[in-house]
Structure 1
Amino acid sequence: MSYRKRIGLLSVLVFLLWSYLAVPSYAEAFSVGTAAKGSAESERTEKLQRLETAAERLYNNMQQGNAPGALEAMEILIDALEGLSFKGLTSVEGIHALAESIMDTRETLARVEVSQDEWTGTSARLRLAVNSLNHREGALWLQYYKVMADNLQSMEKARTGGEPTILRGAFQEFKDRYEVIRSAAIIARDPAEITKFESWLSYVERLSNDKTLDMGALEHALDLGEGMLKELFGRRADEPVFLPITGYDNPWYWSTLIGGWIVLTLSYAGFRKYRANQNVSSVKREEDRYNHYRL
């Protein structure tokens, strides 16, 4: 980390920590009754919404490579942080993760040479972090569970098949996706959960990078990873990670496919019945004609 970035990160972190630890405002300190408290909470909700809107706007501009729009959105985002209390929203570690995401994005925007990959990555991480701050339930980062579970399953298949190259590739995808959601996860989860998950991640990385893979150790590590992943995403312990069918995260796909086969089968059966009726009618007409001539 460069000296300039360290100073910038420290200033943003101090600002956010001040907001976290700040003495309540005059209205909050001297108001009585629930009406004033409700007003303060409503004001914070409004500020959080402005912050999230700015993060969404920043994300969209950076995805499109729109530098002027991204710079303007970043200024709006910084302004939205002013006076925002983070108490009860996240931990001190979460505030540090948010500050780091903001500084990474600002530094990316300040570079003369534009890297679309960096613009895409940093803006996505910041967007997920702000969204996680504003949403306890249904946060966007939770949608990464399926793709990371697929990566974990690919690692397990590569292990059982004795394919180290595929295993390393699946692990790298898993790690890259975690890096995207890391700030959002730190904001939402207990610091102890994050420490435990990242310790496991470092352990698997070391095992997967060994020249000769220890398949027994990897098997044990991936078994642990199933529970770690569920815990990180708040999933049920009995919910399977290693599914028999992967690659389709939309359940409507299978419903439509099965329904299509049923309709096709019924249509074919109806067509066969129609043809059979036509054949029977034709034979009956021939028989009537033959009996007519006999009489």
Structure 2
Amino acid sequence: MKILALNRRLLLLLCCLLLFAVWLSPAIAHAEGNNTALPKGNEREQKLAQFEQITEKLYRDMQDINLTDAPKQMELLIDSLEGLSFQGLTSVEGIHALAEVIMDTRGTLAEVNVDPEAWARSSAKLRLAVNSLAHQDKALWVQYYKVLADDLAGMTKSRAEGKRTVLREYFLSLQSHYDIVRPALIISRQPSEVNKFDSWLSYMGQISKDNSADDASLSRSLEQGEAALKELFGRKGADPVFLPIAGYRNPWSWTLLIGGWILLALVYTGLRKYQAYQNVESVHVPSERGDRFRF
């Protein structure tokens, strides 16, 4: 009986601990979700760094068409996902995009016939996607803005010159470059921004191959694409020619301060002049009559 009572007490204690853990877990999850600045050396940061290192090695092996090491690195990449939490790093759409690009890369490696171009593209997409997770502030995908902007500028120039075939070629180049960076954009940007550019790309794909499309429609569409691209990459307007002085976030305060010093200097100068005039003693001019008879 004593053993049975002891077992019941242990079971009751375990149930209490379990309920306490269930009650405490939402608070822990909420705290983890709001903790944007994770401390250095924590477990997730180490796993994420390892995940990125394996991705970089896989990228180099696939760029070099290393048939031996590339499949091994892919298996290591899959294993490194175990226990890695993406909470707070990206959205649900971002996790789906990452999983999709991993599976696409794995499928490329499983092909019997090796396609060097497919290996290069899939490894580049995977590298950009993983890099966007590990380096949210300075991700590599930001560098693709110039590539896409150049394609878009080529389309605009071709439209102005009336070269529809060349415009179509520039569009296909834009579409190809965007496909490489798109998973990283989904991971890093808002879904609405990515969907906006996707919609424009789909519409532009239709009218760029339609020779009967009027020039005004093409011009408006290209302007919309340029605005959507800037928004997607966080560039709302043109870059300034002269950059502001670093460290001064409020130029008006400095303008008022400098103006105040100038005004104070003018007031001080005026007061000094006024005091000087007050201290001047009048000089009596000798009368003309006295000077006339002096000699």
The structure that has the greater radius of gyration is: 2
Distance 1:207 1:49 in 2: 44
- The alignment status of 1:185 with 2:188, answered yes or no, reads no
Identity of aligned residues (%): 52
Distance 1:215 1:38 in 2: 52
Q: Which residue in the other structure is 2:74 paired with?
A: 74
Distance 2:86 2:200 in 1: 29
Structure 1 residues 53-110: Cα deviation after superposition (integer angstroms, max 9, x where no partner): 1111001000101021111111111111111111111111111110110000111111
Distance 1:127 1:121 in 2: 10
Distance 1:158 1:237 in 2: 23
Q: Which residue in the other structure is 1:273 paired with?
A: none
Task: Quote the offset at 1:211 in angstroms.
Answer: 2.7
TM-score scaled by structure 2? 0.67
Q: Which residue in the other structure is 2:134 paired with?
A: 134
Contact preservation (8 Å) 2:105, 2:126: yes
Structure 1 residues 201-227: Cα deviation after superposition (integer angstroms, max 9, x where no partner): 111111101132321111001111111
Task: Quote the offset at 1:141 in angstroms.
Answer: 1.0
The alignment partner of 2:42 has SS state of helix
Distance 1:24 1:182 in 2: 38
Distance 2:205 2:71 in 1: 37
Distance 2:24 2:95 in 1: 18
Amino acid at match of 1:132: S
Contact preservation (8 Å) 1:129, 1:184: yes
Task: Quote the offset at 1:238 in angstroms.
Answer: 3.0
Rate the CA distance shift 1:161–1:64 in 2: closer, same or farther, 3 A.
Answer: same
How do residues 144-223 of structure 1 correspond to structure 2 at under 5 angstroms?
Answer: 144-223=144-223
How do residues 206-245 of structure 1 correspond to structure 2 at under 5 angstroms?
Answer: 206-239=206-239
Q: Structure 1 residue runs of 4+, over 3 Å off?
A: 37-41
Rate the CA distance shift 1:113–1:199 in 2: closer, same or farther, 3 A.
Answer: same
Distance 2:201 2:88 in 1: 28
Task: Quote the offset at 1:188 in angstroms.
Answer: 0.3
How do residues 27-46 of structure 1 correspond to structure 2 at under 5 angstroms?
Answer: 42-46=42-46
Distance 1:176 1:156 in 2: 18
Task: Quote the offset at 1:138 in angstroms.
Answer: 1.6
The alignment partner of 2:76 has SS state of helix
Count how many residue pairs are aligned between Structure 1 and Structure 2.
211
TM-score scaled by structure 1? 0.67
Contact preservation (8 Å) 1:164, 1:213: no
Distance 2:169 2:182 in 1: 20
Amino acid at match of 2:59: Y
Q: How big is the alpha-carbon RMSD for the aligned residues of Structure 1 and Structure 2?
A: 2.4
Rate the CA distance shift 1:148–1:82 in 2: closer, same or farther, 3 A.
Answer: same
Rate the CA distance shift 1:219–1:153 in 2: closer, same or farther, 3 A.
Answer: same
Structure 1 residues 224-263: Cα deviation after superposition (integer angstroms, max 9, x where no partner): 11111111111232339xxxxxxxxxxxxxxxxxxxxxxx
Contact preservation (8 Å) 2:164, 2:211: no
Amino acid at match of 1:175: Q
Distance 1:127 1:177 in 2: 14
